[in-house]
Every structure is written in structure tokens, then in C-alpha cells.
Amino acid sequence: MPQKQRSKSWTELKQAGNESFKTGQYGEAINIYSLAIKELEKCNKKEPEDLGILYSNRAASYLKDGNCAECVKDCNMSLELFQFNVKSLLRRAAAYEALERYRLAYVDYKTALQIDCNIAAAHDGTNRMTKALTEADGLSWREKLPPIPAVPMSVREKLAQKAQANAAPPNAAPTQNGTQQTSKPALSDKDLKKAQLLKEEGNSLVKKGEHKKAIEKYSQSLKLNPTEPTTFTNRALCYVSVKQYRDAIRDCDEALMMDSRNIKALYRKSQAYLGLKDIRACEDSINVLLRVEPNNCAAMKLLEEAHRK
């Protein structure tokens, strides 16, 4: 008698679904991911994160296939199982945007930026939603937004690495147990000292007005030590000086993720928004600063300048 063919494991089905997705066979990918979900749900040792990733992968397929309502449903399931999964937030935001549910899309884009402020798609999405909501609701559009969830620092640190590693949809190849492994290497004393020297070199270049060269030094420093907020705010100053305003905002957001009351980050972010002629965002940022430090003269002057625009 012929042997009964072994049914595929959920990890094998997940990989097959990934291959179908990569070749643009989104309907087939949906079916395969559905089988993978069923197989994983049968397992006694199923991990919520693994199941959340499968729902997120199927959501990506629905989104590509134009079925935004099902994409939202799967993202909701994914985020219940795997809270603050960046991919699910971005996919749900894109689906909400396509469904013209701009407020919900804005909230998801902004939530994703709390986890990784370098996500270009989230920055672009936020800008599109800001424009759409301003046109729809006027300057008071922020008052009509649902609350934006605060992402705890512990979650940010854990997921920021995954957000950077998972650049290609739907997911990188799984490890033996089907989950994606990322580790954050500890900073060595040698790297910390080298980072400090590079930062000081950058500071010297700033004093000479050589902002582009300083950016290079600060960037080299941050590769060695990405946990120093002052290096981000110093580089933001340089980016403002060379009119790379969006880069300045990203650096300020990085510093603010480490310290939400960082005066330099709030001030330079305000400067960058003014440079972009986004007066409302500039005013909002200055007002946050003034709540932290009410008598900051530089901030008050910048606010007056924004009012004159």
C-alpha cells in the first residue's frame, strides 16, 4: 500500500505562502496562509506571536488583492496576538487609508513611528493623512482624532530591531521554531569611547560651520552608540542648517523616544517644521516645549516667528 503523504507543518505552509506572495500570487498566498493558521491553531505549543505573524502575512495578501476590509480584520487579530507589530500597524493603516478612514490610518501611522521613527512609509502616510484631514476637518482636525496609544519604552526597544530587520514582506525566513530572532548587541567600552570621540569631532565641525562634515561624524558615532540622545539632537541641528528638515525631525523623534521632555529635540523639531512651512505642527511642538519649560525665550521667539508666517 502506498504510504499516506505527510501533511505540511505550519512553518512549511508559511514558507510556501511567502513564496506565493513574492511571485504576486496573492489569492494563492491567502489560501496557504489560511491552512497555516489552521495547522498552528491545532498545535499544543502554539505561540501567540507566531499566530499573529501568520494573520499579518495573510493581511498583506488581502491588501495586495484589494480586499481592504479583510486586511483590517486580519490586522486586528494579529495585533491582539502580537501587540504593536509594526507590519500589522502599517498594513492596517494602508487599508484604512484605502477605505478613506483617515483618522484611524493616522493613528496607526503615528503608533508605528513611536516604535521606529525611521519608517519612511509611516512618515509619508502621516503627511498624506494630515493633508487629507486638514482638507476635511480644517485646522481643528487633531481634536477629532481617536487617542493614539502610547507605546511603552520596553516594547519600543524590543520591536525597533524587528522593524528594521523585517524590511521585505511578508517576513524574513523563520528560524527552526518559526519565529524571527533578533538580538541587540551590548555596547562595548571601546565602541562607547570611539562614539564619544566622533561626537566631539562633530561638535568641533559645527563650531566651524561645517555642518555636512559634522553630520558624517555624528552618523558614524550613532552607528557605534545609537542610545545617545545628544548626538541625535546635534545631528538634527546640522540637518536644519542644511535644510534637510525631515531628517532633522526623525532625529528629534529618536531623541524624544528616549526622553519625551528633551528641550533641544522639541526646539529643533519645531525649527524643522517651520522650515517645512508646517505651521500647525511647529506650533504644536513649541507648545509641548513650553509646557515643559514655560519661560524658554528661544521657543517663545520661534512661536512669534511661526505666527508671522
What pLDDT, in 10s, does the model give residues 32-74? 999 999 988 887 666 788 899 999 999 999 998 889 999 999 9
Question: With 70 as the cut, is the pLDDT of residue 167 above it?
Answer: no
CATH of the domain spanning 10-165: 1.25.40.10
Please report the pLDDT score of residue 46 as a whole number.
64
Choose between 241 and 150: higher pLDDT: 241
Which residues, including other chains, have CB under 8 Å from residue 132's CB and lie 6 or more apart?
102
Please report the pLDDT score of residue 183 as a whole number.
38
Question: With 50 as the cut, is the pLDDT of residue 173 above it?
Answer: no
For residue 35, give Cα distances in angstroms to 28, 87, 91. Answer: 11, 21, 21
Please report the pLDDT score of residue 177 as a whole number.
32
C-alpha span between 39 and 46 (Å, rounded): 10
Please report the pLDDT score of residue 33 as a whole number.
95
Cell of 160: 525597533
Percent of the chain with pLDDT over 70: 86
C-alpha span between 253 and 265 (Å, rounded): 7
Please report the pLDDT score of residue 6 as a whole number.
58
Please report the pLDDT score of residue 158 as a whole number.
67
CATH 1.25.40.10, the chain: domain bounds: 10-165, 189-308
Contact 144/103 with Cβ under 8 angstroms?
Answer: yes
Average pLDDT of the chain to the nearest whole number? 85
Contact 234/213 with Cβ under 8 angstroms?
Answer: no
Instruction: Tell me the angle at which helices 245-258 and 229-241 cross, rounded to the nearest 10 degrees.
Output: 160
Q: In this structure, what is the dihedral angle of CA atoms 128, 153, 47, 83, given to the nearest 10 degrees? A: -30
Please report the pLDDT score of residue 28 as a whole number.
95
Please report the pLDDT score of residue 256 as a whole number.
81
What's the pLDDT tens digit per position in 68-116?
999 999 999 999 998 888 999 999 999 999 999 999 999 999 999 888 8
C-alpha span between 146 and 155 (Å, rounded): 21
Percent of the chain with pLDDT over 90: 49
Question: With 80 as the cut, is the pLDDT of residue 139 above it?
Answer: yes
- Rounded mean pLDDT, 163-170: 46
Name the CATH superfamily, with its identifier, for domain 189-308. Tetratricopeptide repeat domain (1.25.40.10)
Question: With 70 as the cut, is the pLDDT of residue 130 above it?
Answer: yes
Please report the pLDDT score of residue 174 as a whole number.
35
Cell of 53: 505573524
Question: With 80 as the cut, is the pLDDT of residue 3 above it?
Answer: no
Number of neighbours of residue 217 by Cβ within 10 angstroms:
24
C-alpha span between 62 and 307 (Å, rounded): 45
Please report the pLDDT score of residue 182 as a whole number.
38
For residue 170, say if its preceding peptide bond is cis, omega within 30 degrees of 0.
Answer: yes
Please report the pLDDT score of residue 179 as a whole number.
34
Contact 32/13 with Cβ under 8 angstroms?
Answer: yes
